[in-house]
Structures are given as C-alpha cells and as structure tokens.
Amino acid sequence: MLASYLTVAAMLFCIGLYGALVKRNAVVVLLCLELMLNAVNLNLVAFSKYGVVPSLTGQIFSLFTITVAAAEAAIGVAILIALFRMRGTVNVDEFDKMRR
Amino acid sequence: MDKLTQTAWLIPLFPLAAFLILTALGRSYRRVGVLIGIVGSFAAFLFSLFIVVDRLGANQVDYNYSIEWLAIGDYSLRIGFEITNLTTLMLAVVTLVSLLVQLYSAGYMKDDERITVFYGYVSLFTFSMLGLVLSDNLLSFYIFWELVGVCSFLLIGFWFTLPKARAAAKKAFIVTRVGDVGLLLAILLLFWYMPEHALDFTTIQSVFDGQSGAITNGITTLIALLLFVGAIGKSGQFPLHVWLPDAMEGPTPISALIHAATMVAAGVFLIARTFDIFQDSAAAMETIAYVGGFTAIFAATIALAQNDIKRILAYSTVSQLGYMMMALGLGSLTGGIFHLFTHAFFKALLFLGAGSIIHAVHTQNINEMGGLRSKMSVTTWTFAIGALALIGIPPFSGFWSKDLILSAAWETNPLLFGAGLAAAFLTALYMSRLFFLVFMGKPSAASMDAQESRAVMTLPLIVLAVLAAVSGFVETPWNGWLGTWLTDGSEEAHASGAVIAYSVAVGLLGIYIGWLAYGKRSISFAAWHERLPWLVRLLERGYYNDELYSAVIIKPLKLLGNVLLAFDTYVIGGIVRIAGAAVSTAGRAAARLQNGQAQTYSLAAAIGLVVLVAAIVGRRFLP
Amino acid sequence: MSILNDIPILSFILFSPLLGIVVLLALPHNRSNWMKKTVVVATLIPLVLSFWLYSEYDKQQDGSVFDEQQSWADIPLNKETQAAVPSEFKFTLQYELGVDGLSLPLLLLTTIVAAMASLAVIQVKKRWKAFFIWFLLLEIGILGVFLARDLFLFFILFEITLIAMYFLIGIWGYFNRERAANQFLIYNGIGSAIMLIAFVILVNTAGFRMDQIGDQVSFLYSGSYSNIFHNLADSGAWVNLAPEQMGTVNPFLMTHTMQWTLFILLLVAFGIKLPIFPFHTWMLKVHTEAPTAIVMVHSGLLLKMGAYGLLRFGLLLFPEQARAFAIPLAALGVINLLYGALLALRQQEFKLVLAYSSISHMGIVLLGLAAMNEIGLQGAVFQLVSHGLVSALLFLVVGSIYERTGTTDLRELGGLARSMPFVSGVLLTAGLASLGLPGLSGFIGEFLSLLGLFESQRWLSVAAAVGIILTAVYMLRAVLKITFGLQREDYTALKDARLIEAIPMIVLLAFIVLLGCFPSVLTDTTQLGIDGLLDQLLATRAGG
C-alpha cells in the first residue's frame, strides 16, 4: 500500500521539480513549488499511517507544512508583484540581477 | 699591583665622556666644546703618563682583569683590559699624539662651523684606539678595531658636502672592512680551536708559545695569515693600501692622528700582540716580511711622482708601515714596535707641519709652493727635523729604528735588506724633493703672503720635533733598553757598523741627488717626463691600482647585481605573475557559470543531488 | 614570587590594546588628537606590562610559572569507542598562553616597536579611527603569535595580523596600495593555508592525549604545543610507535615520510613570511607601499613571526629533520644574504634597498638557525630582535625624510646632513647598526650566528662573511647618498626632526646601543628559558 502512495508522491515531486526548473513564467514556477511541497505532504501522511512505527506526528507535520506553504506562497506572490511593477514582466529569464 | 694599574680602564673613559658631552651639547658652545675635547685627552694622557712612570722599573708583572660579557651555555665571551709594557707604550703614544693634535686643531679648525662635531669625533676616536690598545682579548680588540675604523670613516668624510670626501670615506670603510673579515675569520677559527675557547692574549701566548701541539701547523698558518689580512687592511699594506692616500680628503690634523700615528698602527699592533701565533708559522712570517718589504718599495716609488703634499706623506706612511711589517716578519718585534713608536712622532710632526703650510698657502700642490723657509721658520725647522728623522739620518729617531730593522734583515735575509735599503734611498729622494720644493728657492705666488701659524699650532710642532729628534735613544745599538723592556730581555741589542754605514750612505745619497735636482737644479728629472712618460704616469696614478680594482672587482660586482636584478624581476617575478595570471584566468572562466539565473543554479543542484544519490545507491551493486 | 604569578599577566598583555579599541570606538570622528593619545597610551600599556614581566621573569626557572591555560570549546567526536571502557573522543580548542626565552625577547620587541610606531602615526592623513583600530588589532595579533601555546590559537592570531595588514596597506598605503595589499594577502594566504594543513596533520597525530579520570577515559585531540612537543620527543609515545610494537593498527603513527612532509610544509609556510628566497617578491611591494608606521611594524615584527614560527614549529618539533636539513638551510641563508645584498646594491629607491637588506639580514637568521648549536640559535634570536629595532628605526627615518622631500629616490636625495643633522645622524647610526658595527646591536647577532655556523659548516660561514662586506657596501652607498654630498637647492630650508619624531628615534637608538654594549640583558633571558627546548635539538647531534 505504502509503495503506491510513495510512487504517486515521487511522480508529483518530479513534475514539480521539472516545472520549477524549466518554466519561464514565475507564477508557474511558484505553482510547481507547491506541487513539490504537496508531494512531501503526501509522503508524511502515508508514513504516518503505513510506516514502521505509525504515529500522528506525520499528519501534524503536514499541517505545519501546509501553513508554511501558504505563507511562502503569499510572500512569493508579493515579491512577484513587486518585481512585475518594477520590470513589467514575470519571465524568470530576465531576472538575472544576481549576476552583478 | 697598585691601584693605578688596576684602574687603567678609566683612561678610555675620559675621551668617551668628552664625546658624549660634546654630542649632547650640539654645535653651539664652540669654545667650551674645544676645551672639553682637550681636557678629555689631557686627562687620559696624564693618566697614561703615570702608568708609564709606574712601569718603567724592571720586572713589572702584567696585569689583566676581565669580566664575562656574554655567556651562552658552556661558552663565554669576555671583555677586559690588560696592562703590559707594550700596551703602556701604545697608551702613551696614542694619548700624547691625540692631545697634541687636538691642541693643534684648536687653531687649524678655528673657523669651521662644525668644530665641536670634529672634537666629538676625535674624542670618540681616541676612546676607540685606547680601548683597542687596552683590550685583553681578540674579541674586544675586534670591537674597538671596528670602532676605530668607523671613526676614521667619519673623520675622513668630515667635510661631507665634498663628493670626493664622501667617496674617500666610503672607500676607507669598505677596503678596511675587507681586511676586517680576515680578522673576524681568524677569531672564529681561534674560538673553535683554542682550548676552552679562550680568546685572550695571555692564553694565546701560552698555547702557541709552549708548542703544546694543541693546534696543528696548517691551522696556525691559516690563523696567522687571516690575522695578517686584517692588518693589511688597517695598516694599508699592499694590496689594500688604496684607501690610505684617498683618506687625505679629511682635515689635515686627522691625517696626522689617524693615518700616520695611531689607527694605521693598529695593524702592526695586532701582529705584535699575537706575535706568538706568527712565530709558530714560518710561512706566515715570510709572507709578512715580503709583503712588508714589497710595500715599502712600492709605496715609496709612488710617493716620488706625487705632487700633493699630503699624498706624498700618505704614501710615505704606507711605505714606513711596510718597514714595520718587514721587521715583524723578520722576527724582530722590537724593530717593528720601535719604528712604530718613532714613526708616530715624526709622521705626526710632518702631517701637522704640512697642515701648517696648507693653512698658510691654501694649496696642497708642492709645485705651487716654494721659498717658505723665510716666511715660516718654526714650521721649516720642525719639518726639517721630521724629514731627517724619516729619512733616517743620525741622530734623529728614525735612524735608530730603521737601523734596527735593517740589522734584522742583514743577518737573515739579504734580499729584504736590499729592499729596505732601496726604500730608504727612495725615501730620502722623495722627502728631499718635497722639502726643497716647498721650503727652498724663490717664494712662489701662493707663498708670497704666507705667515707663520699661531702658537697653538706651532707648539705641538715643537713638542713633536723634540720627540722626533730624541725618542730614538731609547734603543740604540749600544743600549737595547726598549727591546729588553718590551720583550723581557729576549731580544738583545746588536751593533753592526756595516749596516749603519750603508743606511747613512743611502740616506745622504738620496738627499744629495734630491738637492741636485730640486735645490741646485743642476740635474733635471724633466727628461724622464719626456723619455718615459708612461712610467711617470704609472707612478702618478699609483700603478693604476684603483682602476684595476674597478675593472676586476667593482664592475663585475655591479654586473652581477644587474644580472640578478633582471633575474629577480623577470624570472622570479615572472613566475609569480604567471601563477597570478593562471589563477585569475581560471577565476574568470569559473565566473561564466554565474549567469544570475536561479533556475540554472537549482538545475545544477538537482543534477548534483541525482549524481550523489546514484553514487550512494550504486555502491550497493558494486562488488 | 611576586604579584605577577597571581594574575593572568599574559592575557593582560595580549588584550590590553583592546582597551584602546573600545575607547576609540567611543570617540567621535573628528577628535583626531584624542585618538592619537589613545592609541599611544594603548600601546604603552603592554609595553609597561611586558617590561614588568621581563623584570619578574624568574631567570632560574623555566618561566612556566606564567603559563595560562583554559579550555575554550570541546567538540565531541563521533568515533567508535571500545565498549570495554567507558570513553569519549573529544577535540579541544584551547586558550593557552606562555612565555619562554624564545618568545619573551620577541614580545618585548613587539611592544617596543609597536609603541614607537604608534608615535609615527602622525603621517597618516585620513580615516584616523579605522586606522588606529586596525593598528591595535595588528598589535594584538602579533603579541598573540608570540604568546600562543596552542596551534589553533596561534593560527587564528596569525591570521588576524594578515587581515589587519591587508586593510592597513590597502587603504592607507601609497600609490599602488591595492595591488600591494592583494599580493600580500594572496602570498601570505597561501603560506597560512600550508601552515594550516601542517597543523591539522599535527593535531591529528601528535596532538592526541589520553586522560583518565576514575573509570572515565577521554581521548583528546588538541593543539597544545607542549603536548605535541612531548609526544614527538618521547620515543614511547604513540606517535612514534610502529604497529608491530603496538600489536594493533596505530592510527597515530607518524612515519618518517610524514615527518619530512610536515617539516617541509612548515619550512615553506614560514619561509614565505620570513621571507626565504625565492618567496620574497611580495615583501618588496609592501615595503614601498605601506605607510610608515605599518612598514615599521611589518619589517620590524611581522618578518620575525616567520622566523619564530620556523624555529618553534619547524626546528624544535622536528629536530632530526632539522639537523639533516642543516646544510641546505645554511645554503638558503647564504643565498638570502648574498642575493639580498647584491640586489640592494643596485636599487635606486631607498625603501627597496631596505627591503632587500631585510632579505639579507633574514639570511643571517637562517644561518644562525642552521648552525644547530646554542651559539647560533642565540645569534638568530638576537639578530631577530636587533633587526626589528634597526629596521623600524630606518623606516621611521625614511618616513621623516619622505614627509619633507616627497621622495625616497636616491638619485634625487643628497646632502641632507646639512639641513637635517639630527635625522641624518640617526640614519647613519642606524645604517652602521645594520651593517654590523660593534657597539650596536647588529654586530652581536651577526657575530654569534657566524660563530655558531663556523663550527659546523665552515665554508658557508666564510661565504657569509663575504656578505658582510657587501652589506657595508650597499648600506654606506645608500646612506651616504642621502646624507652626504652636495645639497639640492630646494632642500636647504628643510626642518630637522620635531620632538614627536625624535622621541621614537632616540628610544630605538637607545635600545640598539644598549643591546650592542650589554648583549647579556637579552642573551641571558633567552638562554635560561630554552634549555629544555634545545636539549633535544642539540643532544642528538652529539650522539650522531
């Protein structure tokens, strides 16, 4: 049972990772980050039910993660809006200020 | 042993105190400054005189006292002082000449704005020389030896704005330094070979005198020769004599003090002090004798062709020092020291006389002088006494000391006897040339309004003239008092009529020829200038010694310096630059990876993670 | 016994400049006069304390009464322990200070030169506050290097000097300051990296110690110098036991190859600092570009850290290698001596003459070390102190001359003795001290080094003696060109030294004369503290 949950989570994670690495649009990148976090959440819940030592801690952790993810998304979008105001684009290719 | 001898270490402290006070006072207080200098050396002279009187009695025991200066583990280096008859003699000579020169300078240097500095330097010099004389071991001897060198350097370069004085001072210091290294190496050798690592003269004497075999013959010769290298440098022997004539750029009283009577005597004194080492090595003795004999003739020939009065006297000093070395090399300690003693007086006299002349006529070229006899009678008479003493005409002091040296050669080495006679002849020739050109004949333009110097300058001349006339009687063929006193009676006086006859004959012959050529002018050396111009020039330039050293030593050294400079800049600097360039190129290449795209960075991180996971997981499948 | 034994005097000395930093931070920016006073006072405190320490330093004991040791941080190591005994593995960072005959002279030198350099800061024209803070930090670093008895503490303090120097050169230097600072940092950074590698290896092997308290056994790794020293010296220690003797695998064994590697690493690390030919190029730029006070400290003290490190870590920890390496070491010394002298002869820039002269004089230190006997080592230590004083004095004079004439080029200078007799006199005396005139400090170091070397390597010693002539040649050439000769018109109105400049010159000169006339004030101190350290280096030589 555990294996199928983990497989789904792994696929979800890989899709998220792929999107985060290659997508140009910063909004999509943020969405993909959420996907990866959710993959982790899925793992946590799955282990809390089917793990070697089942415990409620996993589920509590996933609640934490969701909260943090929400906060992170809020901050991320705020930064994006600020960037969009400054540069007029959400294309991540054009954000290369770190180079200098 | 009485209190007087035990407190002899105070003697150098008087001039040292004078130096310190003068330095602290600065350039104001000119009269007081002069007085301080003179009082300092007068006190030292008085003290030395007491010691001389004290030691004149027979069978005085040597006194020495030393303290530990530096202790390292089991080794210790000591400093101390020693009173022997030899050091007593030197004490008297040094303090007396120094005192007279300081008196004289009060007149000679009267108008110099840095006269207090001058007195300070002279006091420091006197201190160093007295320290050297009193030293009881080679290490403290070396310390004062170097101090004497540096004082001489300061005094030669006293008129520092003159480029020639600067060059002469530098040359004097560096050339004598070459000799100093010889002395230093001799000390190093002695330190490691002597039993108990002792460096004091008493132990050296007992070790080498007793033929204890503690030190092998080869090493003894090596030590002796290295000591002699030191003496060559200081005493202006060939081939390190080149600094002495140039040193005449200093004020004339300094030439009298340093380059005639005291500092150059240090080399002779060194050999006399370590005479036991030399006596153990026949090879070293021969070397000294031949170098001395050669220098005596060599310098005398150069003196013949010089026109600068001080340079003539300088080369004459070199030549006379050659005599002293020859005497020591022939085994006659008394001969060397006796000549040192008499030479100190008559050469100081000649230099001070020359100073008096230069002061009056404002030139140093003897061809521009003439007829000074009528203008400056005191200077003339005292100079004449000095010249006769130098030539060696009885009964003046130089005769007796030269006679002793010649008799030593007469018995053992006819070749050196010949050299000695030849040098004596040349001495008579160049001194009579000097004397007749300067004092006789018609007054030249420069000497028309010459006047006798003031009493403060002539008084030292008279004192020295008296000494130059009579000081020879301490050791005559019939009365070997000095020799007995110096060597505890091991060297006896010996009379030889033939030697006296020869030496007086060549002296008179030289004077006669000189008189014919420059007094009566019936024969002329001008023909030489026409027929053998190269010979005259060769002598004038001192056998091109300076040029030779410049070509053989200085130029190659500079070239080597330039080569190394290029090596340093291009090879070593180049390697550093290449290494630097390599690093910065690598850095620039690596900087390309930083494109500012967060996605690229995270992609790289992801790839890295995959590789890491693959490596860890893959390890399981490996054998 | 005195009051000094009851207080942590070494820590007081080490951190007393911090007081100055605190006061400086509190002072407003425009109070430059107050800042100057603060920095001078802050350097005077360690000066007074270190002389107090010197006067109380009990010459009959080994001086260890003043050692201070504190555990700073314990880092537990996750190593498998044998279950039989309850045990733990720890890596301890220690704060350990100590003085002995090797470090006390250098400590005194540091406080003297730093105090005199603090008087020379008037030539600094901008950003006083930062300059003074870096300067005091530099002093802390140097003091710490000579006081530290723990490898890591040593390393940290060594690095502090590096950073402080970097900023001091880079911000307050002359025209090419940034380049000079970068070169300094990179070169010395490489040296430090090599030193760190060597230290890490040392801690991992010889730094091991076993403590047993009751049943609890703890295995400690630490950089404690005394521990490492005793481990390496003791043939029964684990470091020196072959696996056969242990019966098991010995992870602490230091093979001969490893010892040699460490020795060479340390030689290179400290050789860069010393500097040994051919690692000397970085130093030239520092000498020409750094401001007066800093170049005094650099030439007077920082170079000494290299020699001190080489002696303490290279020679004393690896006596066997040092003895085997004596001839190459002496040859390096002769090369340094002659190479530096010949190049100094060809320079037209007085600061470069002095830079090459430093190389030449450090050659003499190497010769003294290579002698491998007491006299030579004493000579080397003496030469370090002497050169520290002399070169500080020389650069002080150079600073004064530059301030007035705006140049230190020999071709443009001349005849300064007429308008500046005092400065010229000091310059001449310092030059004479540098060329080894008896009666001044330079002679003793030179003489003892040569005397020591002469016993073991006669020909190299003769070659070195030739170098002494060259020293006289280049020193006189440079000094006489500046002070003697005709004076340039525009130099006639130059003023002689002000009182604030004259004081450090006179003080330094006084020490130079004192050491020259009474060398035993230094040698006795050196001697009595180091007997135990040297025994090993010297004893085995007698054996074979």
Which chain B residues are Cβ-neighbours of A21 within 8 angstroms? 599, 602-603, 606
Same domain, B568 and B619: no
- Residue B91 is inside which H or E element, if any? helix B85-108
Residue B245's nearest CA partner among B264, B262, B230 is B264
Residues of C in contact with B75 (CB under 8 A): 374-375
How far B578 CA lies from chain A's nearest CA (Å)? 27
User: Any idea which of B189-193, B259-263, C23-27 has the lowest mean pLDDT?
Assistant: B259-263
Q: Is the CB of C454 less than 8 angstroms away from the CB of B188? A: yes
Q: How far apart are CA B489 and CA B482, in angstroms?
A: 9
Cis upstream peptide for C46 (omega within 30°): no
- Assess whether chains A and B touch, using the rule of 3 or more C-beta pairs within 8 angstroms: yes
Q: Is residue B526's pLDDT more than 90?
A: no
Query: C327: which 2 tokens?
Result: 């001839």
pLDDT of res. C64: 57
Contact B598 A95 (CB under 8 A): yes
- A97 and B596 within 8 Å at the Cβ level: the answer is yes
What is each CA distance from C374 to A8, B73, C101, C330, C361, in whole angstroms?
78, 7, 13, 15, 19
For an interface test with A, give the residue of B588, B592, B594, B597 to mutate (most A CBs within 10 A). B597
Instruction: Confirm if B310 and B354 have CB atoms less than 8 A apart.
Output: yes
Of C278, C346, C418, the CB nearest to B572: C278
**Does residue A70 lie within any of the structural domains?**
yes
In A, which residues are within 8 Å of B598 by CB distance?
92, 95, 98
C483–B contact, CB cutoff 8 A: yes
Nearest to B596 among A21, A29, A99 (CB): A99
Residues near B550 by beta carbon (within 8 Å), at least 6 away in sequence = none
- Chains touching C, CB cut-off 8 Å, 3+ pairs: B
Q: Which chains touch B (3 or more CB pairs under 8 A)?
A: A, C
Average pLDDT over residues B281-305: 89
Q: Shortest CA distance to B289 belongs to which of B324, B318, B319, B263?
A: B324
**Which residue has better confidence, C494 or B606?**
B606
CA dist C155 to B530, C5, C384, Å? 80, 27, 21
**Residue A67 main-chain phi, psi, to 5 deg:** -60, -50
Instruction: Enumerate the residues of chain B whose CB falls inside 8 A of the CB of residue A22.
Output: 599
Domain assignment of residue B158, given as a range: 1-184+239-257
Identify which of A17, A20, A96 has the shortest CB distance to residue B597: A96
Query: Across the interface, do B70 and C523 touch by the CB < 8 Å criterion?
Result: yes
Residue contact A20–B599, C-beta within 8 A: yes
Q: Is C416 left (phi over 0), alpha (psi -120 to 50) or beta?
A: alpha
Rounded average pLDDT over B542-571: 83
Residue B352, in any domain of the structure: no
Q: Are B133 and B201 in contact (CB under 8 A)?
A: no
B59 and B103 assigned to the same domain: yes
- pLDDT value at position A4? 92
Q: Å from C416 to nearest chain B CA?
A: 9
Give the Å distances, CA to CA, from B190 to B149, B219, B270, B366, B535.
22, 9, 15, 48, 45
Whether B321 is covered by a domain: the verdict is no
How far apart, in whole angstroms, are the C-alpha atoms of residue C434 and residue C389?
10
Does residue A99 form part of some domain? no
Q: Are C339 and C359 in contact (CB under 8 A)?
A: yes
Mark yes or no for CB contact C465/B178 under 8 Å.
no
How many cross-chain Cβ pairs, A to B, lie less than 8 Å apart? Answer: 27
Please indicate whether chains B and C are in contact, defined as at least 3 beta carbon pairs under 8 Å: yes
Distances (CA, A) of B95 to B49, B251, B349, B460: 9, 19, 15, 13
Dist. CA C529–CA B325, nearest whole Å:
49
Contact B122, B168 (CB under 8 A): no
| Residue to substitute from C454, C460, C533, interface B, most B β-carbons within 10 A | C454
Q: Counting one residue from B and one from C, how many pairs have CB atoms under 8 Å apart?
A: 116
Written as six digits, the tokens of C456 are 């073991």
Nearest Cα neighbor of B436 from B530, B370, B343, B528 is B370
Angle at C357 between CA C354 and CA C361, to 5 degrees: 135
Q: Does C453 touch chain B (CB under 8 A)?
A: no
Percent of chain B with pLDDT over 90: 12
Give the pLDDT score at B379: 85
C192 in Cβ contact with C154 (< 8 Å): no
Could you tell me which chain C residue has the CA closest to the CA of B187? C451
B512, part of any domain: no
- Distance, in Å, from the CA atom of B309 to the CA atom of B350, rounded to the nearest integer, reads 10
pLDDT of residue A99: 66
Query: Which whole-number Å values give the CA distances from B7 to B1, B37, B467, in the listed order?
Result: 11, 21, 28
Collect all residues with Cβ–Cβ distance below 8 Å to B110 and sequence separation of at least 6.
Answer: none
Helix (H, G, I), strand (E, B) or coil at C253: coil
- Can you give the residue ranges of every domain in chain C? 3-64+96-202+256-543
C-beta atoms surrounding B284 within 10 Å: 23
Tokens of B424: 């004596």
For residue A96, list chain B residues with Cβ-Cβ distance below 8 A. 595-597
Amino acid at B460: P
Inter-chain touch C342–B157, beta carbons under 8 Å: no
Q: How far does the CA of residue A75 sit from the closest CA of chain B (Å)?
A: 17
CB C17 within 8 A of CB C43: yes
B73–C527: do the CB atoms touch at under 8 Å?
Answer: yes
Domain-embedded: residue A27: yes
CA distance, residue B576 to nearest chain A CA (Å): 29
The yes-or-no reply on A/C contact (3 CB pairs or more, < 8 Å) is no
For residue A40, the domain's CATH number is 1.10.287.3510
For residue B618, give every residue at least 6 positions away whose Cβ sits within 8 Å of its Cβ, in sequence order, or none: none
Residues C295 and C325: beta-carbon distance below 8 Å:
no
Distance from CA of B596 to the nearest CA of A (A): 4
Query: Could B595 and A99 be called an inter-chain contact, meaning their C-beta atoms sit closer than 8 Å?
Result: yes
Rg (CA), chain C: 24
On chain A, the residues whose CB falls within 8 A of the CB of B596 are 95-100
**Environment class of C236 (CB within 10 Å of its CB; exposed 0-12, middle 13-18, buried 19+):** exposed
3-state class (DSSP) for residue C494? coil
Q: Do A21 and B595 touch (CB under 8 A)?
A: no
B599, B610, B613: best to mutate for the A interface, most A CBs within 10 A: B599
Chain C positions in Cβ-Cβ contact with residue B188 (cut-off 8 Å): 450-451, 454, 461
β-pairing, B75-83 with B63-72?
antiparallel
Q: In chain B, what residues touch C484 (CB-CB under 8 Å)?
A: 157, 160-161, 165-166, 169
Closest to C385 in 3D by CA, of C37, C57, C77, C113: C113
d(CA B65, CA B6): 8
Cα of first residue to Cα of last residue in chain C, in angstroms, is: 41
| Count: domains in chain B | 3
The rounded mean pLDDT for chain B is 84
Taking 50 as the pLDDT cut, the residues of chain C under it are: 1, 541-544
HEC string for C102-114: CHHHHHHHHHHHH
pLDDT along chain A (100 residues), means of 10: 91 93 89 93 92 87 93 92 87 74
CA C511/CA C514 separation, integer angstroms = 5
In chain B, the residue whose alpha carbon lies closest to the alpha carbon of A95 is B597
- B106/B166 same-domain check: yes
Q: Which residues in B lie closer than 8 A to residue A92 (C-beta atoms)?
A: 597-599
- Structure confidence at residue B473 (pLDDT): 82
Q: Would the CB atoms of B606 and A17 count as touching at under 8 Å?
A: yes
- Sign of the torsion formed by the C-alpha atoms of B584, B587, B589 and B592: negative
Residue C75 has what DSSP assignment?
Answer: E
Whose CA is closest to B577, among C355, C183, C280, C190? Answer: C183
Tell me the C-alpha distance between C202 and C193, whole Å: 14
The strand pairing partners of B75, in sequence order, are: B72
Token pair of B451 as six digits: 């006047």
Report DSSP state, residue B72: E
Residues facing residue C218 across a β-bridge = C88, C211
Q: Angle at the Cα of C383 (from C378 to C388), degrees rounded to 5?
A: 135
Within a 10 A sphere around the Cβ of C189, how many other Cβ atoms?
A: 14
Half-sphere exposure at residue C443, Cβ-oriented, CA atoms within 13 angstroms: 25
The pair phi, psi for residue C210, each rounded to 5°, is: -115, 120
Q: Are C378 and C372 in contact (CB under 8 A)?
A: no
Do residues B208 and B189 touch, judged by C-beta distance below 8 A? no
- Same-domain pairing of B620 and B549: no
What's the rounded Cα separation, in Å, for the pair C177 and C187?
Answer: 15
Total number of domains constituting chain A: 1
Contact B161 C486 (CB under 8 A): yes
pLDDT in the model for residue C543: 37
- Put simply, the chain C residues between 104 and 133 with a CB less than 8 A from any chain B CB are none
| Domain interval for residue A63 | 2-93
Per residue in B141-174, pLDDT (tens digit) is: 999 999 998 998 999 888 888 888 888 888 888 8
DSSP string for residues in B405-465: HHHHHHHH-HHHHHHHHHHHHHHHHHHHHHHHHHHSSS--STTTT--PPPHHHHHHHHHHH
* Residue C535 touches partner B, C-beta closer than 8 Å: no
